[in-house]
Structure 1
């Protein structure tokens, strides 16, 4: 999973010069003028997007707005966003397709998609759910506050910038509480089971002992070149911010959510339990899969994929000599002591690095382009570890900050390694790290394209990457191969339980039981996953839908190109244009196949 603050990450968009698209050596003067105006319009779109969302600018490595925090819950901000998307939808419509190159036509199509989806979302009252246990802004700010994420703490100015940004964040916390109160009146509240998971995250930041507070971490880690006077000034300013604003804000929010909001919490699990929930879910499906599939179509697809993968799992069960049924084999894998060998969290990190070393000799056979951006594996921060999934945070556009694969290790003695190889392929290499870093490093793509994110494509690529394990010298251990089947099964199950929860009236408990019956994930892990789907309907569908499309396109290319098929070139074609809706990817690959016959 890639943590990109979802809709926020979709602010930077398009234009491109895909290498497989035909170019002419000379353009007529009038066409050059059109291209210049088109490209300038897209540059303006990107620049205005960063100004609207300064935290996103920080994540890209753009430091100009590091002291700013735009409150997305404020009416003024909402109106700015609406005007922004309407303006660029009108501007892009002024360019006729006949005057644009093929790559510019793709950019136009994606920009229209972006404007339409973002304008459509305003009718669904998402602002009434500003906080959840998995996806919300407070968790992102916690990462930044730790001093180990995108917000820099290298100079005195950096420290002062963060203080100013925190003022805006405190305003957001006030707005979040107000919006939740409005939601209570209008029937938009979280399920009680999710509120329960938010409370310890907030409570951890209500401590009065500043030295142990997450937001005080930068003060405990001053750069060596700071003068004593600077340290004193910053320490006093941070102490004042913490005691007068941050800690009281968290205490007030925790008090509200543990009492009034908890009492109002929904008993229902799915999004159909809120007003207009059915329509909202269909919007979410389109947003995340970039398709027009219905909930019913996806549910049936999920059931068929679960059956197919179960048959493959049976083969592994027989290979290792297990004689019980598949359900009991899941328990065998969950509890097998040999698969829980670690006593120190660092051993988990070391194991992922060993996996990387083992696959390096095979990478060149599948990829002739590799990112320059550095890569690290880190443990998920303690304050969110119990509710987090493994995830990838991209490096900065300029390459100065590495891509980071975060893995939660809440109890190292219970950490099961059976799926670690597939997890590394998904979150790291050649999954999210390759796809995102190559996009960011591209010399063909301008900045507004480099931070674009479509979950159907991005998560689809990462899940497809898991299927490359045998080609990369992994999955030689049957339990690790069972791990990749389990990972694929996990995504197939998502098609069933996400649609079950949000369109078929399933309870949280039904979804948990279906998962327990069909995969080897731990019960604690499954509960966390089901609650994740409850918090963000539709996101979990993107993985399998995208993976099946990319695998379908590879199979088609292999069949039609025969001996001339080059897997490295296929991967280049998929990766070189960055994130795109799946229909545009399919058109691109079909064109490539036709041109290479």
Structure 2
């Protein structure tokens, strides 16, 4: 192991000790404490680790191309993390949808549950929920004393989410049965549920009165957030203009697709028709459809456009009961693959599921999307990708690849069933709408007609221009408002991937399968270096 790879490994090991919840989410193997300290001391320890690792990296020799990639990725990610710490991020780390409270909740579900020793770890994690949430509140209180607070909308939305979590672990405890740990699990779940309820009370009663009404975070905080999600310094004015142009381009393509399905019909008429004719009823039927489509994609791609490693030729498909998210999501396999890659599908109160709209998301979350990309990183040889690269990614890189995967499905003719290509285009329109909503809201940029962004205007644009399902509109917009610059990583990431492929395709003898292999072997990288890294490949 080279000194740079050893430093990457050391950072991952030390971070796992300081952040066991994050370690579990990243699939890091090993036994760790049940709780992460989200208080000021815990954040300070993680910030010290970042600074110390960057200082150590400066003095290490680069002995190979793999070393160069490993060092560049480590430096870029840690510099972005250091900027977040310096901006006061840990003291206002509060957002609804995919925020800290959700991470704590999910960390319980991600733990293995085979023998009693593993169930005892689950009981310990459940029992640690009050401690973790209390430490987080300490950081929020310190932030509030310094005037570092978040938007009131996020506070109240998260309070409602925390209320829904009070009782969410009962299904897990019941699944254990009446073994010798049943009482311990039930008691631990009870304390966790009480902690979620107390968090909801704290947010509404103690924190909300000090929150700000303004949803946008402003240029300084947005620049820090964009660097975290994209891996380069964003030109927001250029991206905002491009987002509107891209949305108009997609709308024109959608109009042509609608005319092919039902000449002269409107979007509303065609989507209502497809909802009736290309949907499945009931959760069991929905789960079976998802399972079959994941398996079919893997079977059709392996050996043709990709060589899929054996551990990646299956993916767990999980119904996300109790999730308040408006969107499906993916969790990576663990380093040792004892925990498989999983796609998670929220129900959103539905009994009927429009498969014509959701096929494209199967490719996004599964194969050739997140499961293939992140799984390929996990299965890479230890001297090819550093342990840090296998566990810490860049949102623009991974979400951009997942949108590229949807586009590849279109190129391969996978949207041949009625309405499915329109579903893919509608999803693309939603991602373009995300770009303009996110940048526009947080930087207070005017809409093309000169009006200003509000929550209601964002919902309107996402619904009418982004063609989002009605059940997704509210949680999606809440997510954009609370997680600045994450929503733009999809479309801007896709743009970077397409530009990189177009540049490579101009070279003589270009081969798409070879390019895919090289692209996945590269591992995560900031979007600013993607085209250069893949120049001449394929």
Aligned-partner Cα distance in 1 for 2:387–2:159: 38
Report what 2:511 is aligned to: 566
Cα distance in 2 between the residues matched to 1:476 and 1:67? 49
1:512-523 pair list within 5 angstroms: 512-523=459-470
Number of the residue aligned with 1:546: 493
Is 1:204–2:147 an aligned residue pair?
no
Worse overlay, 511-520 or 354-363: 354-363
Matched, 1:64 2:2: no
Q: 1:48 to 1:179 in 2, by over 3 A?
A: closer
User: Quick one: which of 220, 223, 226 aligns to 1:282?
Assistant: 223
* 1:57–1:65 Cα contact (<8 Å) kept: no
State whether residues 281 and 502 of structure 1, in contact with CA within 8 Å, keep that contact through their aligned partners in structure 2.
yes
Matches within 5 A, 1:175-190: 175-190=135-150
Of structures 1 and 2, the larger Rg is shown by 1
In structure 2, C-alpha distance between the alignment counterparts of 1:279 and 1:460, rounded to whole Å: 24
Aligned-partner Cα distance in 1 for 2:3–2:399: 33
Distance 1:196 1:214 in 2: 19
Alignment of 1:75 onto 2:53: no
Query: Displacement of 1:340 after TM fit?
Result: 6.0
Distance 1:107 1:43 in 2: 11
Q: Which residue in 2 is equivalent to 1:366?
A: 305
Unpaired runs of 5+ residues, structure 1, are 1-34, 207-212, 273-277
Partner of 1:7: none
CA contact (8 A) 1:191 1:265 kept: yes
Deviation at 1:434, TM superposition (A): 0.4
Change (3 A) 1:302 1:399: same
Select 1:101's aligned residue among 49, 57, 64.
Answer: 64
Task: Give the whole-Å Cα distance in 2 for the aligned partners of 1:568 and 1:523.
Answer: 38
Residue number in structure 2 paired with 1:463: 403
Give the corresponding residue for 1:496: 436
Would you say 1:172 and 2:132 are equivalent positions?
yes
Deviations 1:75-112 (A, max 9, x none): 32222222211212111111355xx2122112122222
Tell me if 1:53 matches 2:19: yes
Counterpart secondary structure, 2:342: strand
2:473 to 506, 526, 539: 526
Is the CA contact (8 Å cut-off) linking 2:4 and 2:61 kept in structure 1? Answer: no
Q: Distance in 2 between matches of 1:539 and 1:108?
A: 24
Asked whether the equivalents of residues 67 and 163 of structure 1 are also in contact (C-alpha less than 8 Å), the reply is: no
Is the 1:452–1:578 contact (alpha carbons within 8 Å) kept by the matching residues of 2? no
Q: How far apart are the structure 2 equivalents of 1:430 and 1:218?
A: 31
The superposition leaves residues 420-452 of structure 1 with CA deviations (integer Å, 9 ceiling, x where unpaired) of: 221111110100010011110112334332112
Counterpart of 1:162?
122
Misfit runs of 4+, over 6 Å:
none
Partner of 1:42: 8
CA distance 1:394–1:39, change in 2 (3 Å): closer
Could you tell me which residue of structure 1 aligns to residue 254 of structure 2? 313
8 Å CA contact 1:390–1:406 kept in 2: the answer is yes
State the secondary structure of the residue aligned to 2:343: strand
Please tell me whether residue 415 in structure 1 is matched to residue 347 in structure 2. no
SS at match of 1:392: strand
For 1:195 and 1:37, how far apart are their aligned partners in 2?
44
Aligned mates of 2:42, 2:401 — CA distance in 1 = 33
Change (3 A) 1:247 1:96: closer
Aligned pair 1:214/2:168, yes or no? Answer: yes
- Aligned pairs for 1:376-387 (under 5 A) are 376-382=316-322, 384=323, 386-387=324-325
Structure 2 equivalent of residue 15 of structure 1: none
Partners in 1 of 2:295 and 2:16 — Cα distance? Answer: 38
Aligned partner of residue 268 in structure 1, secondary structure: coil
Give the secondary-structure state (helix, strand or coil) at the position aligned to 1:543: helix
Given that 1:501 and 1:534 are in contact with CA atoms closer than 8 Å, whether structure 2 keeps it comes out as yes
1:543-588 deviations in Å (ceiling 9; x for gaps): 1111111111222222222xx2211001011101211112333222
Alignment of 1:119-518 (within 5 A): 119-145=82-108, 149-206=109-166, 213-222=167-176, 231=180, 234-243=181-190, 245-272=191-218, 278-324=219-265, 328-330=266-268, 332-333=270-271, 336-339=274-277, 341-356=279-294, 358-359=296-297, 360-361=299-300, 363-373=302-312, 374-382=314-322, 384=323, 386-443=324-381, 444-504=384-444, 506-518=453-465
CA contact (8 A) 2:176 2:182 kept: no
Kindly tell me: are residues 160 and 39 of structure 1, through their superposed partners in 2, closer, same or farther at Cα, counting changes over 3 Å?
Answer: same
The 1:488/1:451 distance shift into structure 2, 3 A limit, reads same
1:194 is displaced (CA, Å) by 3.1
CA distance in 1, matches of 2:89, 2:249: 36
SS class of match (2:487): helix
Number of residue equivalences: 527
The separation in 1 between residues aligned to 2:482 and 2:310, in whole angstroms, is 33
Answer yes or no: is the 8 Å Cα contact 1:334–1:520 preserved in 2.
no
Q: Residue 419 of structure 1 aligns to a residue in which SS?
A: helix
**CA distance in structure 2 between the aligned counterparts of 1:223 and 1:578, rounded to whole angstroms:** 41
CA distance in 2, matches of 1:247, 1:413: 27
Unaligned runs of 5+ in 2: 446-452
Matched, 1:89 2:36: no
